[in-house]
Amino acid sequence: MSRIGKKPVELPSGVEAKVSGQTIEVKGPKGTQSFTATDDVTITVEDSTVKVEPRGKSKRARQQWGMSRTIVANLVHGVQNTFKKELEIQGVGYRAALQGNSLRLNLGYSHDVDFAIPQGITITVPKPTEIIIEGHDAQQVGQVAANIRDWRRPEPYKGKGIRYKGEYIFMKEGKKK
């Protein structure tokens, strides 16, 4: 039994959910989002809750059960609030700046990196060493943060690079004479 899948998703006031086939569409004050579930689960809307049930007892059905419930919960949260990821840049001369609809990163390469900001994502740079990524789709926010981090991952000797805020990097000891 999935502990996550068993919990129904509560719909707050101002949020509506509609199911047609395997697709659930959630409307809220911040917009509309939809998700198409696999045939391994059944999604139902009763009163102000959304329930996800597995079809059968196969391993795949149980896996899809918890995952689908989490995605539906993220849709409900996303049409009401925003998801947020914060990145820190560490390293001498490493910095970020917004230029129009792109994020310009100075990361020690021979050229600056221009990262195009996707539709539905808001990026702010309060300091040259901080990047805040916000959006209504949890998967998209996480993917954009991972793509930006991939330009210069934190290295284990000096700790230089782009890291998530609060991320711990295990530092290695350098060579000894």
- What is the Cα gyration radius of the chain? 21
Q: What is the pTM of this model?
A: 0.86
Measured CA to CA, the distance from residue 90 to residue 171 in angstroms comes to 14
**Same domain (yes/no): 93, 154:** yes
φ/ψ (deg, to 5) at 120 = 90, 0
Order of all β-strands in the sheet with 9-10: 9-10, 49-54, 41-46
Last residue of a domain, one of 59, 78, 97: 78
Which residue, 25, 43, 78, sits at the end of a domain?
A: 78
Q: How many domains, the chain? A: 2
Is residue 70 located within the same domain as residue 135?
no
- The answer to whether residue 177 sits within a structural domain is no
- Kindly report each contact of residues 162-167 with a partner whose C-beta sits within 8 Å and lies 24 or more positions away, as own/partner: 162/87, 162/88, 162/89, 162/94, 162/107, 162/131, 163/87, 163/88, 163/90, 164/85, 164/86, 164/87, 164/88, 165/86, 165/87, 165/88, 165/130
- What pLDDT shows up at residue 137? 92
Q: Which helix (H) or strand (E) holds 145?
A: helix 138-149
Is 169 inside any structural domain?
no
**pLDDT at position 4, please?**
87
- Is 58 among the domain residues? yes
The answer to whether residues 57 and 118 belong to one domain is: no
d(CA 175, CA 171): 13
- Domain extent, residue 59, equals 3-78
Task: Based on the fold, state whether residues 94 and 46 are members of the same structural domain.
Answer: no
Note whether residue 171 is domain-resident. no
The CATH number of residue 9's host domain is: 3.90.930.12
Assigned token pair, 10: 């509560």
- Residue ending a domain, among 32, 51, 78, is 78
Q: Are residues 99 and 71 in the same domain?
A: no
Instruction: Give helix then strand counts, H and E, for the chain.
Output: 3, 13
Judge if 95 and 72 occupy the same domain.
Answer: no
**Do 120 and 64 fall into the same domain?**
no
Kindly state whether residues 58 and 116 are assigned to the same domain: no
In a structure prediction context, what are the per-residue pLDDT tens digits for the chain, which is 177 residues long?
Answer: 678 888 999 999 999 999 999 999 999 998 899 999 999 999 999 989 999 999 988 999 988 999 999 999 999 999 999 999 999 999 999 999 999 999 999 999 999 999 999 999 999 999 999 999 999 999 999 999 999 999 999 999 998 999 999 999 999 998 887
In a domain, 124, yes or no: yes
59 & 88 share domain: no
Same domain, 89 and 150: yes
